[in-house]
Structure 1
Amino acid sequence: MSAFQITGLHKSFDGHAVLEDIDLAVKAGTLLALLGPSGSGKTTLLRVLCGFERADAGTIEIGGRLVAGDGLHLPPERRRIGYVPQEGALFPHLSVADNIVFGLPRARRHARHRVAELLELVGLPASYAERAPQQLSGGQQQRVALARALAPEPGVVMLDEPFSSLDAALRADTRQAVTGALAASGATAILVTHDQEEALSLGDEVAVLWQGRLLQTAAPQSLYRRPATRELASFVGDAMLLPGTMAGNHVRCALGSLPLVGSSASSGEPTGDVDVMVRPEQIRILPRGENRLAAPDDAIEARVRRVTFLGRDAAVTLQLAGFPETLIRARVSGLEMPSEGASVAIAVAGPVCVYPAE
């Protein structure tokens, strides 16, 4: 069953279309990561779903109940949606406990209904209930904001880039605590983010919004390994597009004959001339030297032109022998990076996907 069902959704401001023909279903109990660059319409979509903005066309159903469409527009308080904004937006004059119960009926507020349970759920000790929000770290404040969103037992929780203001170490811990709490509560969640790593690591599914349109909705691995368009391939991760020619279940390009990901010759792949998408981490560098293992028969000769050390890994630019104009990008372990100017052999690990040649 879908917790959320969106059909044909449109929204414009001053005659400019911000959302166009959005169709999206979110399964109950899952976390959908809504990914897109700045200005793609992510926050507008979230505001329309919450009821903060009225849709121009289309329908929205939550738990099988129509909340928008056909002349209907239920206000936010009647949609049973929990909302976690970017900065947490806790009330500084209220204690943590009073922030958590703020949206509950009066009797439950006075009883501080489920405060200890919700604090434990988001990974905070019950003793934090009497603290002021300004006594908490940014990550702890976001956890309290989630506890407040979960207090009314909503059907869906919306998270609007809740980790964007946190530093890297705190972001990782807070992500884990928040997603763990959502899973434990059984809540359905939509996470809005422009952070690709965040979307791919947290989402059960990822939906990519691009210039007001949904380009693709898929499981993270499927989205990354087989993006629907060349624009999406370049947006989600790093991608190289090389000219190639189809040959049955393989494609030939400057990197040799490569198998196609999850496809067969009859599955609707482009034919003839195509563009081949290869990820830098697919490039395996085999250093030359007397003690190295023999390179596979399909290895390609190359020379290292540039190496950039990035800590745990390194970015390497390679020039292919016989293709002086073709530069290949590779990502390797920071412990195994080659020297600039070195002669190496390279091979491609795993299958690739293709797009019609432009």
Structure 2
Amino acid sequence: MSTLRISSLQKSFDGHPVLHGVDLSVKSGSLVALLGPSGSGKTTLLRVLCGFEHADAGTIEIDGRRVADAGLHLPAEQRRIGYVAQEGALFPHLSVADNIVFGLPRAQRRARHRVAELLELVGLPESYATRAPQHLSGGQQQRVALARALAPSPGLVMLDEPFSSLDAALRVETREAVARALAAAGATAVLVTHDQAEALSLGDEVAVLWSGRLLQTAAPQTLYRRPATPELAAFIGESVLLPGHIVDGRAQCVLGALPVAAGANLVDSVVDVMLRPEQIEVLPETAQREGALDALVHDITFQGQDAALTLQLVESQTTVRARVPGYRTPRRGERVRLAVGGEVSVYPR
């Protein structure tokens, strides 16, 4: 296990800046999900960390050893980093076992060093050792790729969108298996992804990269509940953003006077109020709840386990979005009542 420290990291291509002074710390034995939209610089950051690209400025330290700075670029093979590519990148002419030991010294390759142990670690039977990669499912190939990355006992494991080519059900199963394997190995890992659910479910912390800058690094629940900006709130899931103002420490908006998350030091300010659709509780028209508001169900998007509702508040005519369990989906045009649960985030306008 190793720690990773990145300080003021910069990278440009043909004079176009891609990374702008990135700072990031990854604790030993933890998994950090590096989340961002396409073009945000995620893959560039990963390639610089692995040593595939030279940094223009800044420093990279792995377990206290500096591997990159203004006058230093340690080659990839000397950084003790395991790398799992997006498509697994297994060699089709080699067996599963030979793929796993490919990067080891010759004597260990001949002895099939740790093959049975690594297959068990990633949740595959030992009998798969003799199979060809093309005879495995996509999820099984990604597990073999992880076993290959773990074979040399690296200090760090880098995963570059390893589940993006899998279908939805296989993606969930494979990422759970990979998470268990990384935890069992005690590996320190960085997962690059553009999938918010993947980042929130796998990361001990999530670092959001946006146009080459880290906007926020936090535990998944903190990032989702207390995003640093309204734009980030919209990127990390769905958000409801309403104009409001702070009165006596509460956020006053069309949904009422709502409690504000701790740490928001705004006094009598004009703000944007952010809450999540699932915080809006949809009640029957006859429900008696203090502070509940009358609304009409305007539109419904049914998604099986839940449903997204577009609702119009009767008094203000404001439209808001809510999310309810699928079995409690109301009818279009039905009159309901709305109440808000939990704290909201606020941003100065």
2:305 corresponds in structure 1 to 312
Q: Is the 8 A contact 1:83 1:158 kept in 2?
A: yes
Matched, 1:340 2:332: yes
2:41 corresponds in structure 1 to 41
The one of 266, 269, 282 equivalent to 1:269 is 266
- Which residue identity lines up with residue 232 of structure 1 in the other structure? L
Check 1:305–1:41 CA distance in 2 against 1; reply closer, same or farther (3 A cut): same
Kindly provide the CA deviation profile for residues 287-313 of structure 1, in whole angstroms up to 9, marking residues without a partner as x: 124xxxx42111011111111211111
- Which residue identity lines up with residue 98 of structure 1 in the other structure? D
The one of 277, 281, 285 equivalent to 1:280 is 277
Q: CA deviation at 1:338?
A: 1.1
1:352 corresponds in structure 2 to 344
- Which residue identity lines up with residue 41 of structure 2 in the other structure? G
Q: CA deviation at 1:38?
A: 0.3
Check 1:237–1:125 CA distance in 2 against 1; reply closer, same or farther (3 A cut): same
1:295 corresponds in structure 2 to 288
2:316 corresponds in structure 1 to 323
Q: Report matched runs for 1:150-299 at 5 Å.
A: 150-263=150-263, 268-269=265-266, 271-289=268-286, 294-299=287-292
Q: CA deviation at 1:41?
A: 0.3
Q: RMSD in angstroms over aligned alpha carbons?
A: 1.1
**CA separation in 2, counterparts of 1:270 and 1:99?**
61
SS at match of 2:288: coil
Check 1:2–1:186 CA distance in 2 against 1; reply closer, same or farther (3 A cut): closer
- Which residue identity lines up with residue 266 of structure 2 in the other structure? E
SS at match of 1:123: coil
**CA separation in 2, counterparts of 1:252 and 1:82?**
51
Matched, 1:114 2:120: no
Q: Percent identity?
A: 70
**CA separation in 2, counterparts of 1:295 and 1:44?**
55
**CA separation in 2, counterparts of 1:194 and 1:12?**
21
Q: Is the 8 A contact 2:298 2:333 kept in 1?
A: yes
Q: CA deviation at 1:271?
A: 4.4
Gaps of 5+ in 1: none
Q: Is the 8 A contact 1:156 1:188 kept in 2?
A: yes
Q: CA deviation at 1:262?
A: 2.5
SS at match of 2:227: coil
SS at match of 1:127: helix
Q: Report matched runs for 1:103-142 at 5 Å.
A: 103-142=103-142
TM-score by length of 1: 0.96
TM-score by length of 2: 0.98
Kindly provide the CA deviation profile for residues 194-232 of structure 1, in whole angstroms up to 9, marking residues without a partner as x: 000000000000000000000000000000000001110
- Which residue identity lines up with residue 348 of structure 1 in the other structure? V
- Which residue identity lines up with residue 254 of structure 1 in the other structure? V
Q: Report matched runs for 1:2-81 at 5 Å.
A: 3-81=3-81
Kindly provide the CA deviation profile for residues 107-155 of structure 1, in whole angstroms up to 9, marking residues without a partner as x: 1111110000000000001111111101111000000000000000000
Q: CA deviation at 1:248?
A: 2.8
SS at match of 2:339: strand
SS at match of 1:323: coil
- Which residue identity lines up with residue 273 of structure 2 in the other structure? V
**CA separation in 1, counterparts of 2:211 and 2:321?**
28
Q: Is the 8 A contact 2:34 2:42 kept in 1?
A: yes
How many residue pairs match? The answer is 349
Q: Is the 8 A contact 2:2 2:156 kept in 1?
A: no
**CA separation in 2, counterparts of 1:138 and 1:315?**
32
Kindly provide the CA deviation profile for residues 227-255 of structure 1, in whole angstroms up to 9, marking residues without a partner as x: 00111011001011101110132110000
**CA separation in 2, counterparts of 1:270 and 1:36?**
33
- Which residue identity lines up with residue 332 of structure 1 in the other structure? V
Check 1:129–1:270 CA distance in 2 against 1; reply closer, same or farther (3 A cut): farther
**CA separation in 1, counterparts of 2:334 and 2:168?**
35
Q: CA deviation at 1:270?
A: 6.3
SS at match of 2:18: strand
Q: Is the 8 A contact 1:284 1:347 kept in 2?
A: yes
**CA separation in 2, counterparts of 1:61 and 1:202?**
24
